[in-house]
Amino acid sequence: MSPRKGPANGAKPKLLVVDDNPEIRTQLKWGLNKTYEILEAEDRAEAVRVFRTEHPAVVTLDLGMPPDPDGVSEGMGALDEILSVNAAAKVILVTGNGERTHARSAIERGAWDYYTKPVDLDEVRVILARAFRIAKLESENRRLAQAATGEWEILGASPEVQRVLATIRKVGPSDATVLVTGESGTGKELVARQIHALSPRRGEVFAPINCGAIPETLLEAELFGHEKGAFTGAHVQRRGKVEYASGGTLFLDEITEMSPALQVKLLRFLQEGAIDRIGGRETIPVDVRVIAATNRDIGEAISAGLFREDLYYRLAVVEIPVPPLRSRGDDVLLLARVFFDRARQASRRRIRGFAPEAEAAMRAHSWPGNVRELENRVRRAVIMADDRFVTPGNLDLLPAEGSQFVLPGGRSLREARESVDREMVKAALMRNGGNILRAAEDLQVSRPTLHDLINKLEIIVER
């Protein structure tokens, strides 16, 4: 979602509590209402509706809800829908003592943290305070980054990413419609945001909508709005996202999930630059730039009759394919370091970095969830790490097969330590292009100490 302004002075931040147990909702409301404005929901549908309407930065979510109170399907579904609306939301899972496996799985899917029942209000206050603080810092960082540079951050040194950035720089200042393609988690919305930030419309609204996360019966109203009395429940007139984004940019994510009937209406809007609200008689002109995205093979969708070819040509004046993380080489480690620094600052843990075997494991992993998976694994690792360095186990990854960092048996403790030190120093020097000062800062040792280690371990510094 586009960055939202924080609460007005004196206003309490909004917290959405999702739990089918009214006693727990009452307990949390009683214990937290002096600090937060408490919003409540008792099932998945109500949770998503309240989240869309009120935009809370933080959500507490019980995994077991009707009609599956003894399972986790409803909670996981609610998590996915909430994050599809706003991927920056901090969703905190509430679990029983026997559900930690499910909680960890949810964290991999994007949940921020979890706590266990019975509810300990002191523990919850600490978790919530940290979540709201991080949400506020992230929002402010996004606002400052956009104000300072006019760009949204896309990180990567690989040729594949540089090609994407070059295309963004060319297409951003134009008003052309753009189709962004790529696997889930590759950063398609980030590409759309940077295009918007480089356009003449950057001072206007950026309005995202996930076409796959909204039921077909509601998507038309979400896009085009409705008049009062247009259907049961339409008690007031409502503008849709297209009209709301007039003057700015409309981002249609997962466009291939849109029904054929709605594709026809979208095509008409793109051709005529005007819309009709549901139940309305007036044609409303709108001036909006459209950027669409999909994680499906759009050629296959057209061949299967699931997506209109004429709509494709309207949307794909410029098509930008975003590469999967597995094809981006050492961008994996660059991004991991960025996510590590953010997670370490957020948790205030004194972890120094990644162990060499963790870096090898990240290089070897195929990253089916792409950048989103990497960020979630690194965030989890910073929480779970017991030592000074993140290990493959903290990342929930297996050590790389044949990794040079797996120490064979039969060594003395001193030899084992020297071997690890040697690989750590070599890796730091490689990351920093042989620059001693930067490598020392990376390893969090003094420059003389690093020089002594290089001499002692007989490491050749290549520049």
Does pLDDT of 145 surpass 60?
no
Does pLDDT of 431 surpass 90?
no
Q: Would you call 283 helix, strand, or coil by DSSP?
A: strand
Does pLDDT of 43 surpass 60?
yes
Q: Do the Cβ atoms of 332 and 362 come closer than 8 Å?
A: yes
Per-residue confidence band for 163, with pLDDT thresholds at 50, 70 and 90: very high
Q: What is the mean pLDDT of residues 240-258?
A: 92
Output the CA–CA distances (angstroms, integers) from residue 327 to 33, 363, 366, in the order listed: 48, 11, 9
How far is C-alpha 419 from the chain's CA centre? 37
Does pLDDT of 378 surpass 90?
yes
Does pLDDT of 171 surpass 90?
yes
Provide the whole-model pTM.
Answer: 0.56
Q: What is the mean pLDDT of residues 417-438?
A: 76
Domains in the chain, please, with CATH?
Answer: 14-146 (3.40.50.2300), 150-323 (3.40.50.300), 328-456 (1.10.8.60)
Report the C-alpha gap between 283 and 179 in whole angstroms: 27
Q: Where are the alpha helices (DSSP H) in 198-322?
A: 216-224, 241-244, 260-272, 298-303, 309-315
Q: Shortest CA distance to 208 belongs to which of 2, 379, 427? A: 2
Question: Directed axis angle between helix 73-85 and helix 100-108, to 10°?
Answer: 20
* Residue in this structure with the two tokens 């247009």, named with its chain if needed: 230
Can you give the pLDDT at residue 327? 93
203 secondary structure, DSSP code: T
Q: What is the mean pLDDT of residues 161-189?
A: 94
Report the C-alpha gap between 403 and 394 in whole angstroms: 17
Q: Where are the alpha helices (DSSP H) in 73-151?
A: 73-85, 100-108, 121-149
Q: What is the mean pLDDT of residues 422-451?
A: 76
Report the C-alpha gap between 82 and 75 in whole angstroms: 11
pLDDT digits (tens, 9 = 90+) for 283-306: 889 999 999 999 999 999 999 999
pLDDT digits (tens, 9 = 90+) for 383-414: 988 877 888 889 988 776 544 444 444 444 45
Can you give the pLDDT at residue 118? 82
Q: What is the mean pLDDT of residues 307-324?
A: 95
Can you give the pLDDT at residue 313? 95
